[in-house]
Amino acid sequence: MASHVLSTFKVPLSICDKMDAIISKFFWNSTTDRKGIPWVRRQILHLPKGMGGLGIRSFRIFNQALLMTKAWRLKDKPLSLLTRVYNAKYNNALDWTHGIPQPRTGAKSWGWTGLSEGINLLQQGCCWKVGSGTSISVMEDRWVHPGPVICSDTVSYDTMVLLNVSDLMIQNQRRWNSPLIKSLFDRKTRLSILSLELGDSTATDFIYWPSSINGVPSAKTAYAWLMTMSQPPCSSIWRNNILLPQKFWKWLWGWDIMPKWKFFIWRICNGALAVHSTLRKRGIEISSTCHFCNLPGGTLDHLFRTCTVIQRVWMASSLGLLGSTFHPRDILHQAHVSYHLQCQLWHAPQPDNRNIFLLSTATPAPPGFHTVSLGTNNIGTSSFILQFDGAWEALTSRAGAAWGSFVFSSFQGGSASFWASSSIHVEAIACWKGILWAHASGWTTAMLHTDCQQLINLLRTPTTAPISIHWVIRNILHEARKFQWCLVCKVDRQ
């Protein structure tokens, strides 16, 4: 089925189920003459690979994800013909930040029925980016990710429901009112709020999609969010009566091994191998005698661990796996060991290579590869070199930044402590405060040194910046334009 149909109309569930059944039969090698054995439930196949599935998308969920992306695209393009038609017919219905207006006249069209479902789902998953905070309710709107907002036991809900996010700020200083926030919210919510960045006085509140880095929903992130909403939130997944961490699946699909080996391990973790025990569960009578040791067995445990022949295989290997029970963590250990062996083989000749090649025939990076020009002129030079750096503690969200330069044979600069949401957030704030200090000191040209390559990349292409540092990246670019020449360079950490 063409993807543009799924992104335009809400496809009936009967059609989606039939399409899912056709794909499932093809995957399990079912034909008109014989029926294949579905070793795993269809719901598991439909999960993304990072959640323990195979990424075979469900037509119903994928239809909803495409409708969500279309609703977002129409909201961002108010001058398009389709947006103007929908707004004229359905009373500005695409302005859905505070609810969906009811149709003005007539019944809903088929196209609008699907689009309204996409809008409903977007409203459940979107989050507010705090600018001025005047249009965001503390309790009724979703503005702390992942949320929810949890108040202290001493605060009444009737009091909190009247507050806007702007009431939690010190407006003339454009920072959070820490004593007030500490008295209103529990510790987890308090740290999440204090780590949120704040823009300048001209910043406005807007809606963004928290599941993607740039704040814009895609079919991939919308599908993963919908699948997450259909399952209980948990950092681990039960498979084959064994609890597996979700990061296991990312490691599995990221390993540098053959795809068929990855699929084989996935089938082991999901109990999808045609061993004696699984065949008997499906009504296929077969002997439970192991073909290797001629002892009763036929389970995954016996096939991979407790069989005497298999135990000798494991003991003879270089991985050193011992024991009498099979567990997928053993597979993780095997791959981890193999990965470390590859790392050792890779790093073993590195000292000689460094002496032979790097010290003699090192090729410098192309001009401008590790730099970004932010001033009004792209060509220039400066005797003023500013260094800045930051540090961040993930558990408490506390951060610190320092900046300075050797001016007239003396080191001058400044420092600040604050809350931040990530390490790149800290580096960006350090850069911004360093630029403010340099401009206040009277410098019109400046060269900035940083050890963060990611910051260089974000300043070069600010549209790719994470939504969590949207305001501070904008502030850096705004303040840097006040210099006649301003160059940010990547330097070694030393």
Q: Which domains does the chain have, with CATH numbers?
A: 3-124 (no CATH), 127-208 (no CATH), 237-345 (no CATH), 371-490 (3.30.420.10)
Cβ-contact 243, 237 below 8 angstroms: yes
80-125 pLDDT tens trace? 898 888 888 887 777 776 555 555 556 778 888 888 899 999 989 9
The answer to whether 188 and 194 have CB atoms below 8 angstroms apart is: no
Residues paired with residue 449 on neighbouring β-strands, in sequence order: 387, 489
pLDDT above 60: residue 162:
yes
The pLDDT assigned to 100 comes to: 52
Confidence category of residue 29, pLDDT binned at 50, 70, 90: confident
Task: Give pLDDT, residue 262.
Answer: 87
Contact 210, 127 (CB under 8 A): yes
Write down the pLDDT at residue 246: 75
479 sits in which H/E element: helix 470-480
pLDDT of 321 higher than 70: no
* 489 Cβ neighbours under 8 A, 6+ residues apart: 370, 371, 447, 448, 449, 450
**pLDDT band, very low/low/confident/very high, at 342 (cuts 50, 70, 90):** very low
User: In the structure, what pLDDT confidence band is assigned to residue 56 with cuts at 50, 70 and 90?
Assistant: very high
Q: Determine the Cα–Cα distance for residues 261 and 359; give it in Å rounded to an integer.
A: 41
